[in-house]
A and B are shown apart, each in its own frame.
Chain A
Amino acid sequence: MARNIKPRILYLIFLILFAPSLCLGNNNNIKLSVASSLFSDNNIYEKINDPKVTDLYYRLGIKTGITLKNGLQHFTLNFDSNVQNYFNYPNENKLFSRINIDYLNLLNKKNFISMTGYYSRKNWFNIDKSYDNSFLNLSYNHKSNAINLSGNFITGHYLFSYFSEFDHFFFGFSPKVKIRKSNQLSYIIFYDIRMYDYLNPFIDQERFDKSQTINLGFEYQNGLIFGTNFQYSHTRSNYDFLGNNSFVIMPYLSAEYNNFYYQIILKWDLKKYQNTINTNQINLIFPDPEANTNNQFYFGVDREITKHLSITGKIIFFASEYRFQDDFYQKFLIGFGLKYDL
């Protein structure tokens, strides 16, 4: 059903959903943010080889959230919607929307259970292409002053895509430990295991994947915020060519200088496939080449003009895997705009 909703109608629905927050104004339990920006994209079709197509696009992002509290129970609902309009290539115009629902229940002062539901949808306006993504996560958590333990004891995920070969379901388990060494320094360690079941595999054979990840990270905060995560993932599949090992380094930084706020986020992914098959048709690994998969660099700068309004600038670079395994495209984006936060 959801696949048949036209993007414009969907966008209208989202705007109607945003309306209450606009009317209610600056309430502690309601947040609203609108970002308007202009981007230059040097590879709009994510091509691996030249010639690449460059275009400008206008982007409008609206997000809003509401929190309801009832005693020891808390419920949060968030909407987020982004429209991207290209100047010369309207076929690439798209809408990305997502809804996030969070519920938590404090059992006592040290333990709580939480549930997160997530749904996102990506639509192209002028071509018949879209996909949906949904996610459900239940977890049990224990916290104390210096240590925080949590276990996502059920993680379920369901994805529909316009390539039905990628419709899949997964569930997983992820114990996580956060340790606060001091006010300045904290660590995170987690292990995550996920089992994937593909509903309509593209070879006439059922597809099952298993992915295991271990993450070690730290963060330092004193005059600036700096942190790094190191992550090792091992993915196995009964489709041999999809099995891979990946080592990821993710440093990030947030700082202020002369009333300008700077943010840098980097993801460097060293991915190695266990086997390689040269037939591209079979090596197809992901339906949407725009997805963030591997190496990424983000630089953001932001200067507040008033309490609610700021000028923003971004420089972004991707070196990500294309639809086909081990084929990487490069993309460079530069953008600036205005942002309003209520």
Chain B
Amino acid sequence: MKKPLIILYLLLSVSLFADFSSYRQNIENLRQLLLEKEAETQNLNEINTTLTKLQKQKQTWLNQRKIAKLTQHKAKKTDHIFVIIEEISALRKRCNSDFNTLYEKNFHTVDSLIGQLNTNPEKRKANLSQLLEEKGKRDFLLNSQKYFSTLDHKSFEIKQNFNVFDLANHELIDDLVALLESKILNIETAKASAQKEIKMRQKLNNFHSEISTIQEPETFTTTSSSTTESEKGIENSWNDESLSNYDNTVRGASGSFETYDELTNENDFLILFETKTNESMDNFLNRMDSLQSYYTDILKELLKRQ
């Protein structure tokens, strides 16, 4: 009798203490699991195709051996897919429950912030900034639903409380416009400095490569261990928080694995281990771009409504 109560208590406490960052992490894990499942299913399909082909051919000893090996491999893959499906299912439940808690919490926070905006002009700027943050959270929550809910998740009632801005309050709108403009400007500055760092990295990589041929690189008495092309390729994935290269590779999208910014080789005599590519910075720039267009869209909308 006690066990279900404990589980209920645990579920409740999990939901009550759900926080946004762990929800984000769970969504990322879920996304990766979905990708892994897709890749594994693709592999399984390939194995099935090969098996069918082999079974149609003459049953020589070699063929039979191949079939046996492939069947073994197929069983392993299937087991793995089942494990992934179980993990996905558990994570989906968790995400769904966290979503409900967080969305509700977000709704009330936004409500109270909007209330304060219209009544307390002194704290308006700070509240507006927090309000933007909460809006970002809500957009993320709504977008992330696709990972754990069924296709017709429209049944969930989306509460909208952002439309209750008092547009007649020009001071408030002016403050909001100023805030958005300053955010966009800050993003511009961050992007410019990231682009400069990308360039510096390229220049250092090129310089390193070039000087390694000024004289014959030495391989005798010291041990070189520079980053190889392959490593650089994979470092793109490593540096990328969301493993988007794996994502792209699995999905066949272009732009993944920029394996060289310049040439290096195993005999490079200086261990510039950071002959890494700019992939992490590129991802940062992409994130900044999307954030910038997000704020720009809100700004445009506001200016239109003004």
A residues with a Cβ closer than 8 A to B are: 28, 31, 33, 35, 61, 63, 65, 67, 69, 71-72, 74, 76, 78, 80, 82, 96, 98, 100, 102-104, 106, 108-109, 112, 114-116, 118, 120, 122, 133, 135, 137, 139, 141, 143-145, 148, 150, 152, 157, 159, 172, 174, 176, 178, 180, 183, 186, 188, 190, 192, 194, 211, 213, 215, 217, 219, 221, 223-225, 227, 229, 231, 233, 235, 244, 246, 248, 250, 252, 254-256, 261, 263, 265, 267, 269, 271, 285-286, 288, 290-293, 296, 298, 300, 302, 314, 316, 318, 333, 341
Contacts and interface: CB of A to CB of B under 8 A. Distances in A.
A302 B203 contact: yes
Contacts of A176: 225
Given A65-B260, A285-B220, A302-B207, 17 more contacts: A74-B233, A78-B265, A118-B265, A135-B265, A135-B266, A141-B234, A190-B225, A219-B274, A224-B200, A255-B200, A267-B270, A286-B218, A290-B215, A291-B216, A300-B211, A302-B203, A316-B214
Residues of A contacting B: mostly: strand
A215 to B, nearest CB: 6
Contacts of A118: 265-267
Contacts of A144: 238
8 contacts: A69-B257, A72-B249, A109-B32, A118-B267, A192-B223, A225-B197, A227-B274, A300-B207
B231 interface: yes
A63 B197 contact: no
Contacts of A133: 219, 267
Nearest to B241: A145
B36 A109 contact: yes
B221 A246 contact: yes
A288 B272 contact: no
A78 B270 contact: no
Contacts, number: 237
Nearest to B254: A28
A116 B234 CA distance: 14
B108 to A, nearest CB: 33
B35 A109 contact: yes
A120 to B, nearest CB: 7
A152 B256 CA distance: 24
B84 to A, nearest CB: 11
Interface residues of B, number: 67
B201 A225 contact: yes
A292 B269 contact: yes
Interface of B: 32, 35-36, 39, 193, 196-197, 199-201, 203-204, 206-223, 225, 228-231, 233-235, 237-239, 241, 243, 246, 249-250, 252, 254-257, 259-260, 262-267, 269-274, 280, 284
Nearest to A253: B204
Nearest to A96: B213
A292 B218 CA distance: 5
Contacts of A341: 206
B142 to A, nearest CB: 26
A104 B249 contact: no
B215 A76 contact: no
B200 A78 contact: no
Contacts of A219: 273-274
